[in-house]
Each structure stands twice: as structure tokens, then as C-alpha cells.
Amino acid sequence: MAFRLFELDRLCALTGQSSKGLKFAEKANLCLSMLKALPTAAPEELSSADESSDEEMAEYEDRRNFSRSQEAQVKKSGIPESGTQRASRRHHGLTPNVHQPASSTRNKSSSSATGDRRKPSISRRDHSDVANTQVPANLSTRHTAEVAAIQEQSRLKKRGSIMNGSTRLDERKSSLKPALASSRPNWGLIHTSNGAGENSGDIIDVDALADEDVQYSRLPRSGAIQSAPVSVPSAEYPASSNSNTAFSSHSLVAPSTSAMAVSTQMVVAEKLTSAVTAGVTVGISTTSTQVQKRKARKSALTKEDKHSKQKKPTLKELLIRAKEQKSREEKMKLSEYIEILPEKLHDREQKHSQFLAGTVILFARKMTETHPYLKKKLDMLYQHGATLVSAFDPAHVTHIVTAGTKAESIIQINEWIGTLVPVSQVPLRIRILDWAWVLDCGNYNRIVEPTQRRYIHDGRWKMERRLQGTVVETPVPKKRKREYVALSSEDEDDREKPTKRKSSQESAMAPKSTLPSPPSEGSPKSTVDNPLAEFNGAGPSDDDQSEVERQMARWKSFRCMQRGRLTKGVCPNQDVIDKLQKLYAVHAGRPGPDEEWKAYNTMKAIGIVRRYPTRFKSLEEAIAIKGIGKKTGLKIMEIINTGGLKRLEYERTEQTVVSEIFQDIYGVGPQLATRWFSLGLRTLEDVAQEKFGIKLTAAQRIGVKYYEDLGQRMPREEAKAIYDRVAETALSLDPKLLLELMGSYRRGRETCGDIDILITRNTKDGVDHRGILPRLLNKLRSSGIIIADLGGEMGEDLEAKYMGICRLSPTGVARRIDILCIPYEQWGGALVYFTGDDMFNRSMRLLANKKGMSLNQRGLWAGVVRDPKSRIKTCGP
């Protein structure tokens, strides 16, 4: 199963993480950490990712067999057999989840390949170049004005949406779907169905594993989670619901949820948490009889396992030994621990990339401390090539690293290393850095120039500046982009300078009040108090590396989220990004699968470039990155070297330009736009007048009518204001509704492309939100908020979606609004899904697939995807 993990770094690339250079085991760990969020992952995979012993393989087989037997049951119970390799695809337009016979028309015919992708939803704001390109003379003046307007808007960050992929399902993949689908009509809640109950094979596995302790300790266990609830900021999230559906795990989501609006990191964290929740809930979300059945089977299984263990006692012994070792280590002081590291991690070169090679690091903590968490940090440093020292020796030490991801107070640092030397006495050439720096080094797989302000404590930073004569007194309000500027180059050689230290500078760094430390980038505050830590089946003291790796991965995803926001168009390769975005628009705006995939790829490349910390220097440097191949690499270099991109020049024909404009009309996609162009339409006027015999749909008319308004993003405050009004109205209908404003708002963007509202309701009291939507909409219409409909609004169901146009006031700009109601159980999944961004979602799903699971709006599903058999597992969030 190991081979599957090889794709992981691809995922990492997708999410903006660089797994480049990581050794296999690291990749595995990385993925695991990301996918800890997917706890029902076939446990055998999780364990084997570390190392697969024969015993584990045996267990793996056991479980598979077990699962197969379940499969058989599934068949018996009349649920369509899932194991078949036939590609039963859902039929477009038919009632969802009705199992389609294999003969379903959906197949690989080219038309389906095309038809299945949705419009790449090129952001309309993304035409920075539209205007400076020769606008065809025959475009009407109004059109030109629109173009200008668009250009104006184009500075706003686009919302990074991308097209989807082909829906042509891999046959094996699809094999799991019919069963899922058929077990539930309509957006099925899997966990209540009898079929689903029978299907929850992995759950059993998880339970069984709970007995196994050590090796599986990473796996969340329902019991563990239930017993470790976190306090619930109530309003944000309802605590538990009924005993049947153990939603207590939900409470774990709450803390992050509340912090969310302000912190993208927390968005990610919460996503993961939700996913975890989703997975975890499964295990406990079946009826009691089912639980009993499961337990029976579980104990049987466990016995088998134990039996097989006795035949091969080595593993057990190893485990015991490991345990002893661990407890010994736990008692060690840091200084002692450092001593044993070379022995403990003797194979670091084989297992880990050595991006810290050559550094001599002093860990800024009291060397007498014993906390395992700190040791893990040491592990990490050492693993990746650092030489650790427990005493300060200015001649050797190259870096001083603190354990926090937020700049520690200088006083704190002083206390930690002060016994060795006062901070003020540390030569400037020795950098005092944050843990974030280490993580970034991991991200980029090399030693990152520690010039980013956020790596460094304020006082120290200031002092360094002074000594350079580049005193920057500006406490830097918020959107100063200096961090990224600094990062690129300019003062990279600070530390090279043999700056003599002046103790007189000390004063500058004494009070931490001088510079308010930046609001920190989220709330990393280390895994120790991270709510997510609760999920990992064991506390921080569990399971060596993985914990640290996990944290690292977590951070990576944070970063990748962060970039989008903080970068704000300023990064070393911004020009490249701009061009690539245009290229993306070109591809995405053209019909056909090829173009779509080019677009997809271009989009990925954009993401990668955006978070690449330095300017590209060579082609090699560029194509060494996963996700950037020869073609893109060449383009990047062309842009960097010549400032332009020839490809763009000749791709940017009148057809392209006009077509893109057309596609900014709601309801118009690549195909229509292309067709219109070839029919001779050139301007929005043409479209509005339905020249050349074209016919507009109702939605398209609205799209034309509000063309300009809809092309604008709104400030997040406006989104919030509209949301507030909607929420108010909704709550007046039912005060117990839960609403959440999703999308880019929730991701903390300054501007939002649309308003995306999620509604659900805890059914604990036996009431649900059925039919609330039409009533809500009527109210909103009469209050003038909603001014046009684009579709949706399927009445009386728990799930309902509405799409329309709204505005804050009669004079306000028209905005797109989506309101969707979902069953309470799907809250977690939906939260993840509708928070996006798209790239994040796609990568998560990809990751889920690689782990043999599948992720969608409704939750996380375990079951093998691209691999053997078809174990069907389900879990509802």
C-alpha cells in the first residue's frame, strides 16, 4: 500500500505544501497528519505508513476479508452490489442516489467528458488585461466602459475558483458509489440506514484497534474522544445532540469555529476538525443494536488479532521495548535528551530531508525541562539535519530557536537561555528565531533566510534593524506587506555582516511593549493546547514524530491558506502570477477537456508560484517543483526574463477577449460564449438584444442585467451586513436555526464574490428546518433584499438550495447570494466544503482518495477508492 503514498507530495503541492525532498516516510507522515482528519482511514494503512511489518500486513488481510464478508451482507440486504467493476454512473438529471444500472448512459463518450465539467467559473475579476488588450473596435462603448470597469476591479483578488475535473469516474472508484447512493435517498444520511450500519466495517476496525494501543495510538477512538470533550462556546456550535448520533465530538469543533472568522489558520484547523468529526462520528452513529453487533464482531476480531500476535510475538516485544524506552525518555531533561538523539534517530539521513543540515541550533528552553512536547521539537530539528547543543557557544551556534510559533517575548527568551547568556549578548549573526521559521524551512525544504519579520522577536528584530541603520520605526499597522518584501531579498545578508554587538542596544529590546507583537498569525500556540491534538488519539506524548510532523503539516496548510490573504498581490513572483492568471483565463474560457486540464494545471501552478518564497532564478529551480513542469517552467522564466509571455499575445485574440466577457454573464460558459462569438456576437449589447437569433435563459437575462454589479466583489463588511439581515429574518422564523456565512467571507477575505449562507438546525428537539427556505425567501423578497432568482429553491426538504440576487439596500449593488439548507448531520462536511477554497477542497479530496476514502459535501467516506475491492464504509458527519 505504500506506493499509494507516493502521490502524496502531489497533494502537498496542491495544498501549497512542499514535500519536495521529503523521504518517503516523511511524506507518509505528512499525509497522515493531514489525513488524521480522516480517522476512519483504513487503519491498516495508517499503521503501515510508518512501517509495515508482516503482522500488520496480516491484520490488513484480516480486515479486508472481514470487510468482504460485510460486502456480502450488503449484497444480501439488497443493496446493489458495490464490488462490481462496472462503471455505473449516475445519470444526469435523474434523481440523485437512485442506483443507476450499469447501462447508464454516462460513459466515456466525449460528450460526457465535456458535459460533466462545470464551468471553470473564471472569476470575472480576473481580466486585468482585458482592457489593455486591443479591445475590438466594434465593441460598443458601453462595452468598453464595462471593460474598463472590469479592469478597475481586476485588482481585487480573484477568488481562486477553478474548474472542476472530469466526472468520468474511474470505474473502480465508482464502484463504491452506487452503494452509498442507494443506501440513502437524496443526500443520504448514511449512518442511520441499516445498510450503512452493516457497512461500517472500518469502524469496527477502529474499535478493535483501540485495544492495540501503541501502534495505533494515533487513531482517534470514539471512546477517547467522547471522554475528552472540550468546552463548547455554545452559540457557535451546538453541543451534542442525541445519544444515537454521538455528536459530542462536535463540541470539539466549537473552539475553532468561534475563532474562525479572524483566522485562516483556524479555518483550516476547523476543516480538519470537521473532517475528524465526520469520521469519528461514524463509529458511534449507528443504532444500538448495530453497535452491539459490531461489538460482537469486534471482539471476535480482536481475539483473532491477539491470536495471530502470539504466533509472532516479536511485535509485541518491540512494542513493550518501545514503551519502556519512551518512558525513559520522558523523564529526561532536554539536555540529556539531546545527547541521546544521535542514537535514537541514527537514521535521520535516510528518513528525513536534511534541510537543516549545517545548522547548529540552541533550543531556547531551559535545558532542565522535560516536557515531551519540547522533545518532539528537538526530534524534528535533529531529524532534519540540525546539530543540537545544550549550551550557548557563540562560536558554534548558528541559530537560536524558540518552541513557539509566535515570537516569544524577549524576556521569556532571556529566561530560557539567559542562564547561558543574556539575549543582548547574542551576536547578531546568530539569529533568534521562531518555530515558524523551522516549519517554513520544512515547507521549502531548505534553510529559509530568516528575514521575515514574523520569525523574529520584535525587540530583537528592531535591534537588528538599528544596527543596520535601517531602523524601521513603523510598528507596521496591518496590511504592510513588508514581510514579504523583506523576504525576497534586500537584506538577506544581514547576518553575514560582522556587526559588532553593542550592548547599548539592549534597551531597545527590553520592553516588549515598544512594539505590539503582531496579532500573531492565528493561534498556533503549539500543539499542546491545540484542540486538534485531542483528536490524535493520544496526548502530545504519544507517538514520536508523527505528532511533530502533524503539526508541521498543519502549519503548512495554514500557510497555504494564509498566503492568499496576506500576500495581497505582493510576492516575489507577482508578475509571473499575473501572466499565468491570464493564461489560465484563456484556457479556462475555452471549451474542451484539454483546455480545462491546462487550466487546472495552470491554476495549480499559480498557487505554487504564489507561495513560493523567492524569485525564480532558473528554469531548473522552477521545474524542480512538483506541479510545475517543463512548459510552465519555461513560461515562468520567459516572464521573468522578458517580462512578457508570447503565448499570451497570440492566444489573446478577439475571440478570447469577447468570449471571456460573455462568460462573465451568469449562466454563460465556454461553449455558449464560443458559439455566440462564432455567430457574430461581439458585445454585451448584442447579447442583451439577443441578436443573431440567440436565446437567453431567464438566468442569463438576469446575468446581463446585473452584469456590472455581479462583476464586483463586495467588501466583507457588506457580505456580513447582508448576512445579518438574512440571519435576522431566518431567526425570526425559527430562533433555533443555525446559520453560517460561508465562502470567502469565512476564509477571512477582505472582499467576497458572493454570499453563501448555510442553514441547518439541530434536530435534538425533534424539529427540523424543513421548508424554512421558501418562507425565508418570501420574507427576503418582500423586504427587498432578494431582487431576482436564478434557480434552486426546492421546497420542503431538509436539503434545499437557493440561488439568487440580493442587495443590501435599494440603491446597493446587486450581489449573488446562495442559501442552502442542509441536514444537521452534514454540518461538518458542509462547513468544510463551502468554506473552500476550491483548491483546498480539491486537494483534500484528492488526499482522501489516496487514502482510500472519499470526501464530499456530506462527509467523509471510508472505503477503498482506487485500490482493491470495494469495502464500503460510511460515515456521516
Footprint of DNA on residues 753-812 (CB under 7 A)? Answer: 754, 756, 791-794, 799, 801, 803
- 105 near DNA, judged by CB under 7 A: yes
Q: Which is nearer to DNA, 370 or 857 (CB)?
A: 857
Among 91, 293, 297, 316, binds DNA (CB under 7 A): 91
Comparison of 251 and 849: residue with beta carbon closer to DNA: 849
Whether 635 is catalytic = yes
Closest distance of CB 187 from DNA, Å = 6
Number of Cβ within a 10 Å radius of residue 173: 18
Phi, psi of 787 (to 5 degrees): -120, -10
Q: Tell the smallest beta-carbon distance from residue 1 to DNA (Å).
A: 14
Quote the cell numbers at residue 870: 470495494
Consecutive H or E run containing 610: helix 593-610
Q: CB 205 → DNA: shortest distance, Å?
A: 22
Helices (H), 219-313: 222-227, 248-251, 253-260, 264-284, 288-311
C-alpha cell of 178? 452506487
Which one among 92, 295, 303, 328 touches DNA, defined by CB under 7 A? Answer: 92
CB 381 to DNA: min, Å: 27
Question: Binding DNA by CB under 7 A: which of 97, 222, 249, 256?
Answer: 97
128 vs 663 by CB, closer to DNA: 663
Q: Does 96 bind DNA (CB under 7 A)?
A: yes
Nearer to DNA by Cβ, of 480 and 647: the residue is 647
Is 757 strand, coil or helix? Answer: strand
Give me the least distance between CB of 798 and DNA, in Å please. Answer: 11
Contact flag: residue 418 with DNA (CB under 7 A): no
For residue 818, the cross-strand partners are 756, 803
Give the C-alpha distances (Å, rounded to integers) separating 699 from 305, 803, 875: 60, 10, 37
Q: Please give the residues from 328 up to 367 whose contact with DNA meets the rule CB under 7 A.
A: none
Return the number of the residue (631 or 764) whose C-beta is nearest DNA: 631
Determine if 164 is a binding residue for DNA (CB under 7 A). yes
3-state secondary structure of 465: helix
Backbone angles phi and psi of 652, in degrees to 5 = -85, 70
Among 597, 705, 709, 750, binds DNA (CB under 7 A): 597
Query: At closest approach, how far in Å is the CB of 125 from DNA?
Result: 14
The residues pairing with 817 across neighbouring beta strands, listed in sequence order, are: 755, 804
Contact pattern for DNA over residues 617 through 656, marking x by CB under 7 A: ------x-xxxxxxxxx-------------x---------
Q: What is the dihedral of CA 524, 527, 528, 532, to 10 degrees?
A: 100
- The CA distance from 535 to 222, in Å, is 9
- Of 363, 435, 484, 600, the one binding DNA by CB under 7 A: 600
Interface pick for DNA out of 186, 514, 520, 567 (rule CB under 7 A): 186
Total residues at interface with DNA (CB under 7 A) = 94
Stretch that binds DNA, among 164-172, 390-398, 420-428, 764-772 (CB under 7 A): 164-172
Residue type, 483: E
Range 803-862, binding DNA (CB under 7 A): 803, 816, 818, 838, 841-842, 845-846, 849, 854-857
Residues from 215 through 274 that contact DNA (CB under 7 A):
none
Task: Give the span between the Cα atoms of 637 and 635, in whole angstroms.
Answer: 5
**CB-based contact 872:36 (threshold 8 Å):** no
Residue 33 vs 97, nearer CB to DNA: 97
DSSP codes joined into one string, 298-328:
HHHHHHHHHHHHHHSTHHHHHHHHHHHHHHH
**Local structure of residue 806 (DSSP, 8 states):** E
671 binds DNA (CB under 7 A): yes
Question: Which of 574, 601, 653, 655 touches DNA by CB under 7 A?
Answer: 601
Residue 507 CA from chain centroid, whole number: 43
Smallest separation (angstroms) from DNA to the CB of 631: 3
In angstroms, the CA 471 to CA 337 distance is: 40
Choices 118-126, 231-239, 377-385, 482-490 (CB under 7 A): range interacting with DNA: 118-126
Rounded Cα–Cα distance for residues 701 and 149 (Å): 20
Residues with Cβ within 8 Å of 761's Cβ and at least 6 positions away in sequence, in order, are 734, 736, 737, 738, 767, 768, 769, 772, 824
Amino acid at 491: D
**Residue 670 binding DNA, by CB under 7 A:** yes
Give the Cα separation of 861 and 40 in Å (integer): 8
The CB-of-548 to DNA minimum distance in angstroms stands at 24
CB of 835 to DNA, least distance (A): 12
Q: Is 468 in the site for DNA (CB under 7 A)?
A: no
Query: Given the C-alpha cell 434552486, which residue does it identify?
Result: 792
Smallest separation, CB 151 to DNA (Å): 21
Q: Min. distance of Cβ 841 from DNA in angstroms? A: 5
Q: Is beta strand 399-401 parallel, antiparallel or unpaired with respect to 360-363?
A: parallel
Grid coordinates standing for 618? Answer: 532558473
Q: Report the residue number, 600 or 827, with the smaller CB distance to DNA.
A: 600
Nearest CB to DNA, comparing residues 321 and 646: 646
Angle 372-383/435-444 helices, nearest 10 degrees? 40
89: alpha, beta or left, given left = phi > 0 and alpha = psi -120 to 50?
Answer: beta
- The three three-digit cell numbers of residue 874, written as one number: 460510511
CB of 791 to DNA, least distance (A): 4
Q: Single out the segment in contact with DNA by CB under 7 A; choices: 85-93, 323-331, 366-374, 510-518.
A: 85-93
Stretch that binds DNA, among 65-73, 171-179, 573-581, 711-719 (CB under 7 A): 171-179
Name the residue nearer to DNA (CB basis): 137 or 650: 650
Numbers of helices and strands, H then E, in the chain: 41, 13
Interface with DNA, residue 663, by CB under 7 A? yes
- Report the site for DNA in 555-594 (rule: CB under 7 A): 591, 593-594
Nearer to DNA, 9 or 305 (CB): 9
Alpha helical stretches, state H, 332-371? 334-344, 348-351
Instruction: Give CA–CA dist 532/512, Å, rounded.
Output: 30
Select the residue interacting with DNA from 666, 707, 824, 840 (CB under 7 A).
666
The helix/strand/coil state of 378 is: helix
Q: Which is nearer to DNA, 220 or 633 (CB)?
A: 633
Q: Is 10 a residue that touches DNA (CB under 7 A)? A: yes
Q: Is the Cβ of residue 367 or residue 846 nearer to DNA in the bound state?
A: 846
Q: Is residue 695 near DNA by the rule CB under 7 A?
A: yes
Q: Are 666 and 702 in contact (CB under 8 A)?
A: yes
- Footprint of DNA on residues 294-323 (CB under 7 A)? none
Of 80, 188, 450, 852, which one interacts with DNA (CB under 7 A)?
A: 188
* Ramachandran assignment for 613, one of left (phi > 0), alpha (psi -120 to 50 degrees), beta (any other): alpha
Give the DSSP H/E element, type plus range, for residue 721: helix 716-733
Q: Which of 375, 635, 850, 851 is catalytic?
A: 635
Q: Which grid coordinates are listed for 366?
A: 531551559
Other Cβ atoms less than 10 A from the Cβ of 494: the count is: 20
CB of 761 to DNA, least distance (A): 19
Closer by beta carbon to DNA, 436 or else 817: 817
Q: Does 669 bind DNA (CB under 7 A)?
A: yes
Catalytic residues: 635
